[in-house]
Structure 1
Amino acid sequence: MARVGYKLADGAMWLLSHLPLGVLYPLGYALYLLLYYVVRYRRKVVMANLAASFPDRSPAQLRAIAKDFYLDFADYVVETIRLGGMSEREIRRRVTYENLAMVLDCLKEKRPVVAYFSHCFNWEWVTSLGVVADVEGSERSQVYRPLKSKWMDAYMLRIRERFNSRCYAKATVFRELLRRRKEGITTFTGFMSDQKPSHNDPGYVTMLLNHPTAMISGTETVARKLSAAVVYFDMTKLQRGRYHVRIVPIADDASLTTPGEITERYTRLLERNIERQPSIWLWTHRRWKHRVELPAD
């Protein structure tokens, strides 16, 4: 019975993914109305996060950001569905990159690259990077956390790997990247690093959006061990269905940096990204549920 359900879900998603965005966006707007006004999906969490992050904003300004966030979140949902049926030509038109030559030069020089991502919309579309960074002898990949739903996990892996890219589980990514290096393959790997550190990651505590925050330190550890060049993908939503990614250098060789230096630079870049366009960050998570203290000077 479960297998039949999976097949039906696959069929429904295939049909939806082949609808143009002009048809999907009205569905997204209906989803926005449902989430914001009817279900009130995590409204208290979103408003609390915004109020603590932007204490200088008025209640009216915070509500405006929240509404924009739910609109952008609904766009993200239908855009991610559309990714499953989008052509290479269309994704090239909808996502543009600045400073891409910096990454291409590293790959041509056989130097691995670690890219810091964040939960800024629409991060799923950036998994299509393989169509613009296809250097011979290199591999594009991203790290993911397996989802509890087997069907959803398989579906997300399928659409994330459509455009000449691979997904590696967080628990095995370093081993996989070492294996690729032994095989003579230069890797360009994206790490989503604005989540809470896992239990086996000691984390790096710094200020983020007016909060003492434990940041993931594992990305920096991997980059240092690989002697990788490190960049940040700064996201801007230009309009519905149009995104611009500015590739910002963080370190030319991670092994030459001091512990915490890369994570601190990433945090400052992330903070500026969010402050510039707050509605595109994922505010529904309880990012600061557990308080942490800044280290003593």
Structure 2
Amino acid sequence: MTERLTYYLLRGLFGLLARLPWVFVHGLCHVFAFLIGRIVGYRRAVIRANLSRSFPEKSLEELRQIERGFYLQFAYNFISTPKLLHQSPERITSEHFIMPDLTPLEEAAKSYDCVLLALGHYGNWELFSTGQLLLSTIGYSMDQVYRPLKNKALDRLFAEQRQRFGARLVAKDKIARHIVEYVRAQDGRHWLVAMITDQAPGIGHATYFTDFLHQPTAVLDGIERLGRKYHLPIFYFDIERRSPIQFVGRYVPLYDPKEGDLPNYTITERYARLMEANIQRDPAAWLWSHKRWKRPLEHYPNAVRSARLQALLDSAKDN
């Protein structure tokens, strides 16, 4: 009963936000950012520690500027999303979530029925589901891999929100089965399976560490294992933030099975480099409140270390 009531209250709130004029939405976002950043200090210690380690070359004022920018984008992600998702499809694809070049996917469709896409918690990831509007024009259906939320009311609400434009949600533990079905079907349909891959691996899954934002970082390698096993191309989704409510996404090739055998973790390392460059280009748009570095390298003596990371560690010893 409590979950049902919570769901309807949240749904009513989202409906109200969707109907507010943009001038009020922008005002609410700035007020909310001020409250959570300056008054409440939501995960401030985590954010500041993450930023200072990731950008040792920046001054304190530069770090604080990124912090303020993060809180503002964070506020927009929650408050403006209902409004964004209630725009017309034409307005969404031309003003808010723009994908100017689908050629890489069209080329992949000539040889493969399914492609994998790696992206991060960058910009407004709740908007990514609207990508189905443009993917449909080139014959693709999209699956989004997700972990169900503990709060059932929020989980239901976000699931409805993310599937509004035809994209599907697939639980993480079921995605391999879906991929097998897509590969075997050979029915002329094409699938894009999108996976957010910048979160910290769970215990038992931190098998590969590299130098990411100047520190030893465990990187998920699940998308590499899926691409290798089922011989599927992998793309990275590079996101350019033009404003808190406008993003441009581009498909960057990470792996083509035609490359043949590659050393293990090559694809994962490529992803790390592209994700890092995306963050460095516009740091405030990443999810800095996430406890990304909560499991240090010392806890995983058997994990594989990239050559780049080993060079970083050797340099630290010398200094």
TM exceeds 0.5? Answer: yes
1:188 maps to: 192
Residues 52-201 of structure 1 aligned to structure 2 (within 5 Å): 52-93=53-94, 94-134=96-136, 138-183=140-185, 184=187, 185-201=189-205
The 3-state SS of whatever aligns with 1:162 is coil
Task: Output the CA distance in 2 between the equivalents of 1:218 and 1:136.
Answer: 27
Structure 2 length normalisation: TM-score? Answer: 0.87
Residues 233-252 of structure 1 aligned to structure 2 (within 5 Å): 233-252=237-256
Mark the CA change 1:193 to 1:203 in structure 2 (over 3 Å): closer, same or farther.
farther
Conserved 8 A contact 2:122-2:287: yes
Q: Deviations over 1:43-80 (max 9, x none)?
A: 11111111001111111111111111111111111232
1:221 maps to: 225
Tell me the percent identity: 33
1:240 deviation in Å? Answer: 3.1
- Aligned residue among 259, 264, 287 for 2:264: 259
Q: How many residues align?
A: 297
1:171 deviation in Å? Answer: 1.1
RMSD across aligned C-alpha pairs, in angstroms? Answer: 2.0
Mark the CA change 1:111 to 1:259 in structure 2 (over 3 Å): closer, same or farther.
farther
Task: Output the CA distance in 2 between the equivalents of 1:88 and 1:283.
Answer: 30
- Look up the equivalent residue of 2:64 and give its one-letter code: R
Conserved 8 A contact 1:111-1:229: no
Task: Output the CA distance in 1 between the equivalents of 2:194 and 2:220.
Answer: 14
The 3-state SS of whatever aligns with 2:173 is coil
Conserved 8 A contact 2:7-2:154: no
1:104 deviation in Å? Answer: 2.3
Matched, 1:280 2:285: yes
- Aligned residue among 199, 204, 207 for 1:203: 207
Structure 1 length normalisation: TM-score? Answer: 0.93
Task: Output the CA distance in 2 between the equivalents of 1:98 and 1:260.
Answer: 30
Where do 5+ consecutive residues of structure 2 fail to align? Answer: 299-303, 308-319
Task: Output the CA distance in 2 between the equivalents of 1:21 and 1:257.
Answer: 49
Which structure's residues are more often helix, by fraction?
Answer: 2
Where do 5+ consecutive residues of structure 1 fail to align? Answer: none
1:174 deviation in Å? Answer: 0.9
1:113 deviation in Å? Answer: 1.0
Task: Output the CA distance in 2 between the equivalents of 1:8 and 1:198.
Answer: 33
The 3-state SS of whatever aligns with 1:119 is coil
